[in-house]
Amino acid sequence: MVLIAVAASTAAAFWELVVVLQEGTQAYRLGSWAPSIGIEYVVDRLSAFVAVIVTSVSVLVIIATRRIAEREAGDRLGAFYSLVLLLLAGLTGMVVTGDLFNLFVFLEISSLAAYALVFQGGRSAMLAGYRYLILGSIGGSFYLLGVGFLYFTTGTLNMADTAAALALDASARSVQAGAIFIFAGLGLKMALVPLHLWLPDAYTHAPSSVNSLIAPVMTKVGAYAMMRMFISVFPDGYLTNVVPIADALLWLGLIAIVFGAIIAVAQRDIRRMLAYSSIGQLGLIAVGIGLATPLSFVAAQLHLMNHAVMKATLFLSAASVRLSTGLNDVSDLTGMGRRMPGTMAAFTLGAIAMVGIPPTAGFFSKWYLVQAGVESGHWVVVAVVLASSLLSAVYLFRVLEHIYLRPAQPDAVHAPVVIPQGGSNDQPAGAGESPADVIAPALLLGAATIVLGILNSWIVINVLGRAGL
């Protein structure tokens, strides 16, 4: 049932993308109220693109984690999936709305569902979930405060109308305040350094079925919202010249790239390593937004897609390992190449893409970002983006060494963490590969990293709308 709902949503997203590409931006008025009074949904290329990404990755993750969810949620499976659907509704709602306050509502819906989902992860998840709740609420409230400032200045909540009003006159101090609070709120939601503190614990301790879902998509939608502010709300140049939000994004992003990668190297738990890796990768997206040129936005959007796919692959691989053996540490992966070849193949594909070997998708994210850096004369960007490939290689290839090059330790398997349901799902110690419905989506996502890389030019030109250079 859940699958039907999510699959239908995915199909709708793809359909919408096709429509938008052919006919231009679509708009829908809730209750047929005119925009200033009613809430308007606006789907342009960017919205459709992000919606497709969020829904398709979610579908695959939900398929893959079905067994895991059954084990982890037990008899609360119904409530669990309700929360998952709520989460997705919130995320897709954020993507398609054209109203600032509506964005807040969907933001809080998805966040609330996420808090509850993260909390399911057992003892250590409780404190992580609670902290996530507190910090996340701060973010949402800051965003709301920022919207308030904007509303009182422009008199409208509709994004397009706000843009028109600000284009006429954006000199008021309250607009600056609004911009800053919105930036703070969305920055926290997209885990921009130093507002990232909720992320490592939440991703590490959440149940496998949850972090595989949240990690690829939640922060991306936050980044999307930030992009939306740049593109559709504030006038061109306002966020660069008047209030230096763009510069803040740029520099915090650069710091995040380096910080995330370095801390990731020091981690023993795979999930925590991937969490810090995500912080670093989000830095890349932030840099793309912060450079604030058409090319850099394309780079940020492309990396939004690429990273969602790559991280989903990696988290699903980790989830598969946890399902089969109950293990979490990098050192526990020693010799897994023999025992879980499919899962490890997926992990390898994800890792190679993260490092950025052509023709995987990760390579092209860096390609466009480097070009954006050259174009704006920010040589630091070029250097840091190129260095991030090497830094990612350090912590990812170390894992690959364990998987393929070091001999397996026969005593390394613990019993699975969650109680087996009995029957064929019982995995004795020394377990082998996970079932096909767990590995197949992971491998599919891994293959997608290569396919999306090869198709990147088509995507950039036709979907994101950037013609030639």
Q: Does 21 bind other proteins (CB under 8 A)?
A: no
Among 244, 326, 341, 359, binds other proteins (CB under 8 A): 359
Contact 107, 189 (CB under 8 A): yes
Residue 347 binds other proteins, judged by CB under 8 A: no
The site map against other proteins for 126-155 (x = CB under 8 A) is: xx-xx--xx--xx-xx--xx--x--xx---
172 binds other proteins (CB under 8 A): no
Q: Which of residues 16, 367, 431, 447 is near other proteins by CB under 8 A?
A: 367
What stretch of H or E contains 227? Answer: helix 208-228
Smaller CB distance to other proteins: residue 401 or 437? Answer: 401
* Backbone phi, psi, residue 196, to 5°: -100, 0
Whether the CB-CB separation of 290 and 249 falls below 8 Å is answered with yes
Compute the least distance from the CB of residue 127 to other proteins, in Å: 5
Whole-angstrom distance, CA of residue 136 vs CA of residue 91: 15
Selected range binding other proteins among 7-15, 40-48, 389-397, 431-439, rule: CB under 8 A: 389-397
Among 11, 27, 30, 405, binds other proteins (CB under 8 A): 405
Copy the structure tokens of residue 210.
Answer: 């949850």
Residue nearer to other proteins on the CB measure, 26 or 137: 137
Q: Which is nearer to other proteins, 423 or 468 (CB)?
A: 468
Which residue number, 311 or 402, has a Cβ lying nearer to other proteins?
402
Residues 45 to 104: which contact other proteins by CB under 8 A?
A: 101, 104
Q: State which residue, 28 or 152, has the beta carbon closest to other proteins.
A: 152
Three-class SS state of 35: coil
Cβ 108 to other proteins, closest distance in Å? 5
What distance in Å separates the CA atoms of residue 63 and residue 55, rounded to the nearest whole number? 12
3-state SS track over 55-82: HHHHHHHHHHCHHHHHHHHHHHHHHHHH
Q: How many CB atoms lie within 10 A of CB 51?
A: 27
Site string (238-277) toward other proteins, x via CB under 8 A: ----------------------------------------
| 3-class SS of residue 371 | helix
Q: Does 357 bind other proteins (CB under 8 A)?
A: yes
Torsion angle in degrees (nearest 10) through CA of 39, 175, 153, 134: 60
Among 80, 119, 230, 395, interactor with other proteins by CB under 8 A: 119
Dihedral class, residue 467 (left if φ above 0, else alpha if ψ from -120 to 50, else beta): beta
Kindly write out the interface string for residues 442-461 of this chain, putting x where it contacts other proteins by CB under 8 A and - elsewhere: ------------x-xxx-xx
Whole-angstrom distance, CA of residue 225 vs CA of residue 443: 30
- Element containing residue 40 per DSSP (H, E): strand 40-43
When the beta carbons of 193 and 460 are compared against other proteins, the nearer one is 460
Q: Give the separation between CA 86 and CA 89, rounded to whole angstroms.
A: 5
Q: Please state the closest distance from residue 243 (CB atom) to other proteins, in A.
A: 19
Question: CB under 8 Å to 6, separation ≥6 — which residues?
Answer: 55, 58, 59, 62, 85, 88
Tell me if 116 contacts other proteins by CB under 8 A: yes
User: Measured from the CB of residue 392, what is the shortest distance to other proteins in angstroms?
Assistant: 10
Cβ distance to other proteins smaller for residue 66 or 402:
402
Sort 377 into a burial class: Cβ within 10 Å, 0-12 / 13-18 / 19+.
Answer: exposed
Q: What long-range pairs does 297-300 form, CB within 8 A, spacing at least 24?
A: 297/227, 297/230, 297/231, 298/368, 298/460, 298/464, 298/466, 299/365, 299/368, 299/369, 299/371, 299/372, 300/223, 300/227
| Paired strand residues for 29 | 40
Using the contact rule CB under 8 A, the part of the chain among 51-59, 87-95, 122-130, 230-238 near other proteins is 122-130
Q: Are 19 and 28 in contact (CB under 8 A)?
A: no
**232, 375, 435, 451: which one contacts other proteins (CB under 8 A)?**
375
Structural contact between residues 123 and 144, judged by C-beta atoms closer than 8 angstroms? no
Query: Using the rule CB under 8 A, is 366 a contact of other proteins?
Result: yes
115 binds other proteins (CB under 8 A): yes
**One symbol per residue from 184 to 223: x for binding other proteins (CB under 8 A), - otherwise; what is it?**
----------------------------------------
Q: Nearest approach, Cβ of 8 to other proteins (angstroms)?
A: 26
Question: Which stretch, 49-57, 63-71, 110-118, 420-428, contacts other proteins (CB under 8 A)?
Answer: 110-118
Q: Give the closest residue to 187 by CA, choosing from 239, 241, 125, 129.
A: 239
Contact residues toward other proteins (CB under 8 A) are 101, 104-105, 108, 112, 115-116, 119, 123-124, 126-127, 129-130, 133-134, 137-138, 140-141, 144-145, 148, 151-152, 157, 295, 352, 355-359, 363-364, 366-367, 370-371, 374-375, 382, 386-387, 389-390, 393, 397, 401, 404-407, 454, 456-458, 460-461, 466-469
